[in-house]
Amino acid sequence: MPQLEASVAIDFHSETYKDAYSRINAIVIEGEQEATQNYQKLAELLPDDHDQLLSLARMEGRHKKGFEACGRNLSVTPDMEFAREFFAQLHGNFQKAAAEGKVVTCLLIQALIIECFAIAAYNIYIPVADDFARKITEGVVKDEYSHLNYGEEWLKANFEASKAELEEANRQNLPLVWQMLNQVEQDAHVLGMEKEALVEDFMIQYGEALENIGFTTREIMRMSASGLAAA
C-alpha cells in the first residue's frame, strides 16, 4: 500500500507565496464586496425579507474587512483589478438578472453558487492558512453557512415555481465557476489548496444545497457536474 507523503511546510513570507496571495486575497475581498452589493440588491427585490437581507449584506461587509486585514498582515497588496476581471462575467449575469427581476437566478448565483464556492474554498484554506488568517476565516465560514441557508430556505419554499429557472441559471452560470477555478489553479496550489479538492468540496456543498431545496439525486448529479467536463 503506498504511503501518504508528508505535507511540505508553507513559507507565508516567500515572494512566491505573497505573489499568489495578492490575487487570491483580492478575489476574496472582491467576492465579499460584491456579495454585500448583491444582498443589498436582493433586499430591494424581496421586500418581505428586506431587513434580513440587509443584515446578511452587513455581514459580508465585515468579512471583507477581515480579509483586508489578512492581506495587510502578510504585507500583501491585493490585485483588485485582477479580481474585478475575475468576477466580471458572474457579476454581469447577476446584474442582468436583477435588472430583469429574476430573483431565482440572483439567488442561485449569490446565495448558492458563490456561497458554496466560498464555503468550499474557506474550508480547504483553513488547514493551510497562516494563524492570523485561519482565525478570521474560521469565523467567516460559520456566517457563510447561514447565508447559504437563507437561499436554500427561500428556494425550497418556492421550489416548484423556481425549478425551471434554477436549472437554466445553473446551466448558464456553473460553467463560469469551473473556468474561474482554472484561472487560479496555480495560485491556489501555491497556497496549499488543490483544485480537485476545491471542486469536490464545492460539489458536495452545492449538492447538499440542491438536495435541501428539493432536487433528486439524479438531478443533483446532473446539475452539479454541468459544464465541468468542458472546463
Segment lying near another protein (by CB under 8 A), choices 41-49, 96-104, 168-176, 204-212 = 204-212
Nearer residue to another protein within complex by CB, 83 or 113: 113
Query: Is there a contact between 68 and 29 (Cβ–Cβ < 8 Å)?
Result: yes
How far is residue 113's CA from residue 96's CA, in Å, rounded to a whole number?
Answer: 16
Q: Is position 99 an interface residue for another protein (rule: CB under 8 A)?
A: no
Binding-site residues, in ranges, read: 32, 60, 63, 115, 147
Binding-site residues for Fe cation, in ranges, read: 32, 60, 63, 115, 147
Cell numbers given for 89: 462575467
> Checking phi first, is residue 72 left (phi over 0); if not, alpha (psi -120 to 50) or beta?
alpha
Nearest to 213 by CA among 87, 69, 112: 112
- Burial call 24-40: b when 16+ CB within 10 Å, e when fewer: bbbbbbbbbbbbbbbbb
Residues between 131 and 170 with contacts to another protein, criterion CB under 8 A: 145
Residues between 1 and 30 with contacts to another protein, criterion CB under 8 A: 1-5
Nearer residue to another protein within complex by CB, 60 or 201: 201
Amino acid present at 17 = Y
Site string for another protein, 182-201 (x = CB under 8 A): ------------xxxx-xxx
Q: Is position 208 an interface residue for another protein (rule: CB under 8 A)?
A: yes
Q: Which of 33, 187, 207, 210 binds another protein (CB under 8 A)?
A: 207
How far is residue 71's CA from residue 26's CA, in Å, rounded to a whole number?
Answer: 9
Q: Residues in the site for another protein, rule: CB under 8 A?
A: 1-5, 119, 123, 145, 194-197, 199-201, 203-205, 207-208, 217-218, 220-222, 224-226, 228-229
